Structure 1
Amino acid sequence: MANEEQTGGLDQLVQGVAELLSAADDFDKITQLELLQQLQNATAGAIARVSADFEISQRDEQRRQQVPSRERGRGIADQIALARRISPAQASRDLGFARAMRRDLAGTGRLLSTGQINERAAQAVHRETDHLEPTLRRQVDGELVGALPRLGVRAAANAARRAALAADPDGATKRATKAAADRAVWFKPQPDGMCKIVAFLPAPEGIAAFGALKKDTAAAMTTGAIDGRTRPQAMADLFVERLTGRPREAGLPVEVQLVMGTDQLFGDTPDTAGSPSPAGQSDPDGPAWLDGYGPIPAAMARAIIAGHPALFGPTPVEADHAQAWVRRVLTDPVTGQVTAVDPRRRRFDGTVRRFIRIRDQLCRTPFCEAPIDDADHVHRFADGGPTDIDNGAGVCRRFNLVKEMPGWSVRVLHGPPEEGVDGADGTDPPPGHRHTIEITTPTGKTYRSTAPPAPCAATSPTGDDPTSVVEAFLTQRLDLRWAA
């Protein structure tokens, strides 16, 4: 029977947590939740460490017992599953995660063990780098470790995928090509006479298909054509109508938003054709950003631009001749953040809304990472807040409603932060041009959110204006009009 020394006092810790009472003050309740979350994160790290150690000792024991090498390791995950009261399949997956935290993702493992990131974020890094060979995986881990404590789960996954794509662009293209070849649709019976039709599609095609359903459903709602149905019901009905060929009005145009550098699009720049990209320019084979999905290989991005059916076929030269709309997104040459525009409108729509979506990428509530539903006035319009980029923030519908509750406040920070007030990650906003909002909750807790750099933005330590290069190059290489 295990004693306290052997278990490290964990039984007392469990008992203490079980008997924990909520604090009397709401500020202290929130502090309890912060500490309990750190404890949960650290516990996940400890489970991974102990699981990995258990596997090593069990394999050693099986070797001593002369278990055939092809069978060594069998039953280890099953024991872990019983101890943790989870399925063996889940235990096997968790054991693979534990191995990775020990061998190749040591930095991520340390952050998890010290409670600085949660298990889902660590799992995301594991999942997005699992295909890399060990040396490259350790390299990506080293690149990510400084940023992970500031990222939510989806942002951590995107950062890991972006770093993995940059570390092995050729492998990423091969894997994406294979995945596209595996596209399929299948049928799953469900209870109560229902079913699921599941499509496994390349990201741009899936985004376009789902976007068309959303847009046409929204149009039907404005005209009252949905006849009392909910939005999901109307979308499901439209999905069936489109597949079965039932007559219906032509769908509204769907825009797939893709962000990539000009040297990624064309493979070179006016000043550096045929040579490696210098500092301040994006890697021609590095990841691009597909709105609604995240980082994708540059080869796929060029195929989207060229409208190539194979999705990976066109070379930069073929993309050179593509007929596509290009919309300028101006970024700060030092920080890479999207810079402001100044239309004065009541509603954030058109160009202003588009810039806010590109700048913020996901909901600006720290760690929320939900898709942007609303371009919201930080300083309320009813209280005199202007309708401009600086006073706008992309948020999810939930936060747009929550911040109107008593005790909540949001403001845009300009200049150095106030003394003694840190952001959600304990750091100040970055130097240079920045868009940082500060959220205060009813308990008095404050959290900060700084807009991320524009996806695939090229930054320059010299601060030279990149727009002249972009405009001159696109004018020279593409016979396109600038979309308004």
Structure 2
Amino acid sequence: MFDTVDEAGLVDRIAALERAKCAAAAEQAVLTARLDTARREREAAAGVPAAKRGKGLASEIALARHDSPNRGGRHLGFARALVNEMPHTLAALRAGLLSEWRATVIVRESACLSVEDRRVLDARMCAHQASLEGKGDKRIEADAKAIAYELDPHAVLDRAVRAETERTVWVRPAPDAMTYVTALLPMPQGVAVYAALRREADTCGDGRPRGQVMADTLVERVTGRPAEVPVPVAVDLVISDETLLGGDQAPARVPGYGPIPAAVACHLVNRAADDDRSQATLRRLYRHPDSGALIAMESRARAFPKGLARFIAVRDDTCRTPYCDAPIRHTDHAVDHAAGGPTTALNGRGNCAACNYDKQAPGWHVSTHHDPDGTHHSDVITPTGARHHSTAPPLPGRPTHRRSIVEVAFADHLAWRNAA
């Protein structure tokens, strides 16, 4: 027989910890807003132009929270609104009656309103905290939207029109060598796309599950090719020679996606080579057998040549700022070229655009170094002196004690250069 007293105590402890999490989120918001004010006041006193005050602060907050720079910007905007304009929502969060996400939803839905209207929405939503009991995410969102539309329907409609300009498509890894392809579309277009795929699934009748029919139809209509035919694109495949040639089972890596099983990687290589219907190409790169690091390259040019930039992008996989998983958009000099930083793989870092621009703010310092085994490291120091570290991802695999094909070739290349 279960001890119901102990179970009740466990439930109470879980509830208490949830309230503590909400209170901690409120305290983080207060401290973030205070840091924002202090930084801007200090920079104003130092004569920094108003447009440049607070540059890089969102990324600094993201690093402190072990989060991506994109979310750092959201945390900063959330804190400003919550602390400066929405005291009732802040109080409800501190009391544990709102989670951080539900408070974020209220702030987000009020973002298009004037400060005065936002304060009205804040009071109507959260001044009476008992009214928040039992409301889930969708109910909170619906109530906030309804009040925002009642207060300023034109602002809500204007935001909806502007939102159409943010339509986009992105991809992210899924388990088992699959991917999620997500499209952000205006509501009529999104509904029309989904309805068309459902119609095709309803009328197909070839025995495939409807989900597979919808997925295959999407691929066929976007690429113009049958779903089973390879698409003519180049895929970077980082693979060890032991896996490709020796039957080893160490995984390979596709930059921007992540590790894939050895059997899948070899299948991709063979499929690209054997299938005459496909113009797909695979760039095969080889890891150091001990560390998994890729071999270095260098250039005397100020801008990174295309081959070296591609090498750095494959080595780093995603933005090298800690906790940022954004795709690489810029190949950046860790030590600026103007300050004598060389255009080399060692001094090069793959960055997203936002992180590259944030690095230019006063007080930020970036450095890089190699281990003896070739592993590439990068350190970021923020204006407050906090240090954060990242390491380029190695190709997953088991260490060996023999030199890889590329390691031998690189050693010969170094010997030739030294002799020259």
Answer 1 or 2: which has greater helix percent: 2
TM-score (normalised: structure 1): 0.41
TM-score, length of structure 2 as denominator length: 0.46
Going by fraction, where is strand more abundant, 1 or 2?
2
